[in-house]
């Protein structure tokens, strides 16, 4: 059952659930919480065709807008800069550097039964 937690704990649980969900969708999780001076990327994973950078956003309620709406232009730019940093630091990983990149968002919210609901938005924004 999904219980009310502190903000950081709730975010971490949403990210864990998102990782499990992406793995069920046949994506391979490469990194979690990649940080650099530009920002953070919650999940880096690989599909058959893309290197995927995923932002996980939790919202208790959509009263003030959806979770995806919180990934505004400024946040998108920070994610893109962080993705570029990730690529430059992992340039030796040839299996990743030759793949096109994609930026996804996973919205997380509490469901009616108390379980976490996820909504995956592939290619939510572009560079």
Q: Is residue 2 part of a domain?
A: no
Q: Is residue 39 part of a domain?
A: yes
Give the pLDDT band of residue 2 (cuts 50, 70, 90): very low
3-state secondary structure of 79: helix
Give the pLDDT band of residue 92 (cuts 50, 70, 90): low
Give the pLDDT confidence score for residue 59 in this predicted structure. Answer: 82
Residue pointed to by tokens 């505004």 = 72
How far is 16 from 22, CA to CA, in rounded Å? 10
Least confident of 13-27, 42-56, 70-84, 104-118: 104-118
How far is 112 from 117, CA to CA, in rounded Å? 9
| Mean pLDDT score of the chain | 87
Most confident of 35-39, 85-89, 92-96: 35-39
Q: Is residue 14 part of a domain?
A: yes
Residue 39 Cα to chain centre, angstroms = 13
Give the pLDDT band of residue 95 (cuts 50, 70, 90): low
Q: Is residue 1 part of a domain?
A: no
Q: Is residue 55 part of a domain?
A: yes
The CATH number of whichever domain residue 82 belongs to comes to 3.40.1350.10
Q: Is residue 78 part of a domain?
A: yes
Q: Is residue 33 part of a domain?
A: yes
Domain containing residue 78: 7-65+73-125
Q: How many domains does the chain have?
A: 1
Tell which wins on pLDDT, 26 or 91: 26
Q: Is residue 41 part of a domain?
A: yes
Model's pTM, two decimal places? 0.87
Dig out the tokens for 56 from the structure. Answer: 């996980």
């Amino acid at each position: 059952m999904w219980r009310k937690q502190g903000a950081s704990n709730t975010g971490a649980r949403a990210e864990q659930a998102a990782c499990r969900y992406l793995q069920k969708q046949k994506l391979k999780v490469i990194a979690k919480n990649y940080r650099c001076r530009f920002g953070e990327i919650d999940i880096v994973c690989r599909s058959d065709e893309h290197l995927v950078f995923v932002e996980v956003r939790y919202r208790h309620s959509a009263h003030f807008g959806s979770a995806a709406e919180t990934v505004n232009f400024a946040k998108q730019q920070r994610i893109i800069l962080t993705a570029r940093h990730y690529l430059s630091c992992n340039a030796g990983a040839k299996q990743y550097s030759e793949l096109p990149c994609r930026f996804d968002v996973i919205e997380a919210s509490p469901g009616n039964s108390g379980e976490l609901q996820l909504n995956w938005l592939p290619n939510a924004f572009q560079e």
